[in-house]
Structure 1
Amino acid sequence: MIQVTTLAKLPAAYKVLFTGFLLVIGVGLLMAGFQIMETHGKADGKPGLSYNDIVYSYYGNRSGSKLESMLNGQMKAMAPDEVRFTLIQWARDGGSIKDWSSTIKPIMDQYCVSCHGPGAALPDFSQFENLKKVAEVDDGASIGSLTRVSHIHLFGISFIFLYVGWIFAMAQYPQKWKLILISTPFAFLILDVLSWWLTKYIPAFAWLTMLGGFGYSLASTIMIFTSLVQMWWPEAKWPAHWQDKTR
């Protein structure tokens, strides 16, 4: 059992253990940011994460099909323009099976089934029935996908915040701000997940998704940075406000 009460006084073995964990989590947060930019961030076909990206991801772009949204968004670079236009027009014309064998399936075989093929984790677009589903009006994330992603985020990420907060709880930091920082990621995680469901039905709530992700990312970054500094940086060089050692 750890007998000390501050990060600065931890044995070297615990400092190395906690440092490794915090560094991995920090890199993981960065990768999560890049992943969001590569998925949601391209939903409107423009670089960077925007309000419209969130709306299209959860509420959908109901002026067209999900296939069209993907081809104009994150899948835009996966096929030449003429191929994308052919698929988009096919979807707009109702996604008829009469064009499947002669026109659409060869395109799928050449450009898509390497990822969207039999046995892949992604939908199998080598089958007409599966492609037909995404050629219908884009109504955003399905209830099934929202349920799956929600419980994964709530169960998985909360454990990350638990351990980051537990380490930070040993930091020398003003008590009021310590409590705020420890609780903020949990509150904003709930806000983030709740906003997905709200945006599914009311697109104006997309702003909450952006706020939720920003809130828990900022609080986590502060806790990770502070914990690392207090474990390894001489106390004499700490900022003055850290000298409040009230726990």
Structure 2
Amino acid sequence: MPINLSNVSLPVKLLFSGYLMIIAIGYGMATIQILVTHGMADGKFGLSIQDIVYSYYGNRSGSHLESKLNGSMKANAPEQDRFALIQWVRSGAGERDYLDHAKAIFDTRCVPCHNADAGGLPDFSRLDNINKYTHPDSGATLASLARVSHIHLFGIVFIFMFVGGIFSLTSGVPLAIKCTAIVTPFVFLLLDIASWWLTKLNPHFAWLVILGGAGLAMAFVFMWVVSMYEMWVLPRYLRR
């Protein structure tokens, strides 16, 4: 009898199911992380095309600091403080005005998180560091895109290698559909990564980011549901 998900031993089912459950939770946490980072780029909760444009291409009508104050950092300071910092940037981000007015706001609202001990966050206790963010917002840097791209390529490809490996043991899925489902996430992963770089060059490619992410999600959900069904539900029907 050929080995498939409906007749593998209980330990193997538990191993596969445990992996699929943890990966599903991780996928959900990744979605939440996207919503509270990229999804707040325009200052409104929920991922939109505008969020993607701001994240990768940038909001070039204003500075990077202004984009953050009106976007993902909006909830961290009252409107009057955000307005004062934006006005300081638009008036030239001068040192005298910084010392007289802006510094106190930065020290109160920003420095508790953005300090020398914050790790990956910029240190806003120093004016020279702040000035790096007072220029027009050009979105993600090439260095950050390269870093995130290689992390996603190496990480997500392993996730779908194992998910696809488990799914390949299904018995009730036609071969053509099975092969398509297994290949689909790799195609959409490449599309997803490429869309970040294309959107950096031109905001009209932002819709490709949505398409790439949606394709990955649909392939994952399909393979996950079918695999769990054949391990735990299908054997009950076969015994009848």
Q: What is the CA distance between 1:27 and its match in structure 2?
A: 1.0
Change (3 A) 1:237 1:84: farther
Cα distance between partner residues in 2 of 1:150 and 1:143: 10
Gapped regions of structure 2 (runs ≥ 5): none
Equivalence map 1:73-92=2 (5 Å): 73-92=71-90
**What's 1:136 paired with?**
135
TM-score under structure 1 length normalisation: 0.92
Deviates more, 1:92-101 or 1:59-68: 92-101
Cα distance between partner residues in 1 of 2:2 and 2:29: 33
1:33 correspondence with 2:31: yes
Cα distance between partner residues in 2 of 1:101 and 1:20: 56
Q: What is the CA distance between 1:100 and its match in structure 2?
A: 2.2
Cα distance between partner residues in 2 of 1:212 and 1:141: 18
**What's 1:14 paired with?**
12
Cα distance between partner residues in 1 of 2:103 and 2:57: 29
SS at match of 1:114: coil
Cα distance between partner residues in 2 of 1:4 and 1:11: 13
Cα distance between partner residues in 2 of 1:237 and 1:111: 60
Gapped regions of structure 1 (runs ≥ 5): 239-247
Q: What is the CA distance between 1:237 and its match in structure 2?
A: 4.5
**What's 1:147 paired with?**
146
Cα distance between partner residues in 1 of 2:10 and 2:103: 60
Runs of 4+ in structure 1 over 4 Å off:
none
Equivalence map 1:55-66=2 (5 Å): 55-66=53-64
Counterpart contact for 1:4–1:10, Cα < 8 Å:
no
How many residues matched? 236
**What's 2:97 paired with?**
99
Identity of aligned residues (%): 52
**What's 1:165 paired with?**
164
1:127 correspondence with 2:126: yes
Give 1:44's aligned amino acid: D
Cα distance between partner residues in 2 of 1:129 and 1:159: 41
CA RMSD of the aligned region, Å? 1.5
Give 1:161's aligned amino acid: F
Cα distance between partner residues in 2 of 1:40 and 1:188: 19
Give 2:45's aligned amino acid: P
Cα distance between partner residues in 1 of 2:22 and 2:54: 31
Q: What is the CA distance between 1:207 and its match in structure 2?
A: 0.4
**What's 1:190 paired with?**
190
**What's 1:245 paired with?**
none
Counterpart contact for 2:7–2:235, Cα < 8 Å:
no
1:209 correspondence with 2:216: no
Q: What is the CA distance between 1:150 and its match in structure 2?
A: 0.5
Deviates more, 1:116-125 or 1:143-152: 116-125
Give 1:130's aligned amino acid: N
Cα distance between partner residues in 2 of 1:213 and 1:29: 12
TM-score under structure 2 length normalisation: 0.94
Q: What is the CA distance between 1:4 and its match in structure 2?
A: 5.8
Give 1:190's aligned amino acid: L
